[in-house]
Chains A and B, each alone.
Chain A
Amino acid sequence: MAPIRLLELLILLAVLAGFGGLLLRRNLFLKVLSMDVMGSAVVALFVLLAARSGLRSPILPRSGELLSGDYADPIPQAVILTAIVIGLSIQALLLVVITQMARIDPSLNAASFEATDPP
């Protein structure tokens, strides 16, 4: 198996693990962490996509000469920076809310917050 395929497979497994955790974990804190596992897998996917054309950082040397063409693709890397920042801020917001909710149920069992009234 080509190494890039193996890495793709690992990323897919990480996404599925995150999704499974979100579905199966009862603790809210662990649910949020599972979501973060998914987010990290997405970041890894974009880094892997960028590395298909080469591994050298896409930065011109001071002399300005272009080295042989094994540069990494700068576009997915640039794009995923934004997603990392957004992911971090959402994670922070969720954790703030969870600390508030821990006052209601310190065990943070997600089922205890669900409303019981009809739909």
Chain B
Amino acid sequence: MTPSWMSPDSLLIAWLLVPYLAAFLAVLLPSLSHALVVGCCGATAWVGAEALITGTTRPLQLLGEFGVPLSLEPLAGWFVLLNGLVCLAVWIEARRQGWDRTGWMLLLVLLGSLNTSFLTTDLISLYVALEVVGITAFLLILKGNSANALWIALRYLLIGNTTMAIYLIGAGLVYAQAGSFAFTALAQLPPGAPLVLVLVGLLTKAGVFLNGLWLPRTHAEAPAEVSALLSGVVVGGGALPLLRLEQLNTAIGELLLPIALASAVLGLIYALAVTDAKRLLAWSTLAQMGLVLLAPAAGGLMAFSHGVAKSGLFLTARQWPSRSLQTWRQQPLPAPLLLTLLVGSCSIAGLAPLLGYAAKKQLESAVPPVITTALVVLSVGSVAVYCRLCRAPLAAASNPEEASGALPWGAWLLMLPLVVGCVLLLAEVQRGWLVSLVLLGLGLVVDQLLERRRQQVSHGLPSLDRLPDLVGGLGLVGAGLLLSIGAELG
């Protein structure tokens, strides 16, 4: 007989709590910090992979009826696995950058709070977890250490906390009407103000459409490792609860569908127009988060394949000669770096045989036919976006000893699942060669046409991310959601 503390439930709770303890230990005993980070990240990836492989749902109720409900199902498994892998890759890269013990502490707290936010299924625990994620991300952005970093971080926390206040009002109204804070209670209520307020909060955290206008500049200006964390997993803290709500009530999915599509279009247009490579990746995150929210059946795989690829791309950013896309053609990149860029780009653009293609296929089969057509157009657009990153010429082989020191191991760790995933899903991927080639051709043509236009037209798109725009975006999306619910009710 196994003792009670070895039961699967106790181990799960221990796994949730250990990162916080490890964070304190990492500060007190810096010599242990590397082992602690690797252990916690490894355990997280393991728990996520186990949930995916067994395919079971594990509900868990802490502290009785009014306690904290947790649930680990395959959908959450994707996000947990993503969290473990991205934090591990960031550890590999950050070690080279000489992060100190506060850095490791923040990384561990972020890992733990994201795990909590992925497992919890009630509004209040989610609120607490997301606020901890927000504060940790704020402190990580401040590691950038420039005057601009101060402003970006302040903006991030100010918008994040405002939106969480709106979310809390929604949670309070849910309790007033249903007598519970559980997601299920919210999903069973008829759509109305409580739902809209909660959605506004979560959409902002997920970085979708007008609520996500804070995202591009924040993700682009943060240090490369922090950008990888933000764009890879932190946005998932808002996306997974939205997917869970969509799963519980299809009406919520229909309500979010226009916002998700609009986000994909908005992100794509800006990603095609910007002249800064990090900004391109960040706007593309806004577009991809829209696609993640389209269908809960495909959302997990979409978020995972996007998260690993995008984090990997951001992790290579320190080795780019410059961030300007205008000079991208003239700056040669070493072969390992260019290979990483190619794999990540092709996966996000949804080209066979990488994991991103399988995710896109799953998404197409989960949405209505009209949306599938829109998705094809969008994927031509994303091919055109990522062509821009792959245009750099190959640098001549330099001194091998020097090169081996700069190999992007962290990014490679993240590219691994993209390649391995396609081996596992080989049957699905095999049929996609032809479609992918056609998409690639169309994307290249669009890119060439746009490139000519970019050189002719000097004025760009309007800047949408001043502070009043961000606050106004929250108001607009909230009012729009309320109006659409009102119109449906008659």
Give A contacts to B, CB under 8 Å.
15, 18-19, 22-23, 28, 31-32, 35, 38-39, 42, 45-46, 49, 52, 75-76, 79, 82-83, 86-87, 89-90, 93-94, 97-98, 100-101, 104, 110-111, 113-115, 118-119
Contact = CB atoms under 8 A, between A and B. Distances in A.
Interface in B151-178: 151, 153-154, 157-158, 161-162, 165-166, 168-169, 172, 175-176
Given A31-B158, A97-B157, A101-B150, 13 more contacts: A35-B161, A45-B169, A46-B168, A86-B131, A90-B134, A93-B138, A94-B154, A97-B142, A104-B147, A115-B148, A118-B460, A118-B461, A119-B463
B464 interface: yes
A86 B128 contact: yes
Contact of A90 (B135, B181, B216, B270): B135
A39 B165 contact: yes
B124 A82 contact: yes
Nearest to B176: A49
Contacts of A82: 124, 128
A42 B168 contact: yes
Contact of B181 (A79, A87, A101): A79
A75 B122 CA distance: 13
B242 interface: no
B148 A90 contact: no
A79 B94 CA distance: 37
A74 B442 CA distance: 61
A69 B468 CA distance: 48
Interface in B183-218: 216-217
Which of B128, B166, B168 has most chain A Cβ within 10 Å? B168
Interface of B: 66, 124, 127-128, 131, 134-135, 138, 142, 147-148, 150-151, 153-154, 157-158, 161-162, 165-166, 168-169, 172, 175-176, 181, 216-217, 270, 273-275, 279, 460-468, 471-472, 475
Contact of B165 (A42, A104, A119): A42
Q: Is the interface of B mostly helix, strand, loop or mixed?
A: helix
A79 B128 CA distance: 10
B266 to A, nearest CB: 11
B146 to A, nearest CB: 11
A42 B157 contact: no
A101 B154 contact: yes
A94 B158 contact: yes
B156 to A, nearest CB: 10
Contacts of B175: 49, 75-76
A97 B135 CA distance: 13
A34 B168 CA distance: 16
A100 to B, nearest CB: 6
Contacts of B468: 23
| A-B complex: 9 closest residue pairs judged by Cβ atoms | A118-B460, A113-B151, A38-B165, A97-B154, A86-B131, A23-B471, A42-B168, A119-B463, A90-B161
Contacts of B270: 119
23 contacts: A15-B165, A15-B169, A18-B165, A19-B475, A22-B158, A23-B475, A28-B154, A38-B165, A38-B166, A75-B175, A82-B124, A87-B161, A89-B135, A90-B131, A90-B157, A94-B157, A97-B142, A97-B150, A97-B153, A110-B467, A114-B151, A119-B270, A119-B465
A18 B168 CA distance: 15
Given A49-B172, A90-B135, A94-B158, A19 B471 contact: yes
A93 B135 contact: yes
A82 B216 CA distance: 31
Nearest to B124: A79
Contacts of A19: 162, 471, 475
A35 B142 CA distance: 21
A14 B154 CA distance: 23
Contacts of B467: 31, 110, 114
Given A19-B471, A22-B471, A101-B151, A83 B127 contact: yes
Which of B131, B158, B217, B274 has most chain A Cβ within 10 Å? B158
A38 B128 contact: no
Nearest to A45: B172
A118 B275 contact: yes
B154 A35 contact: no
A83 B164 CA distance: 10
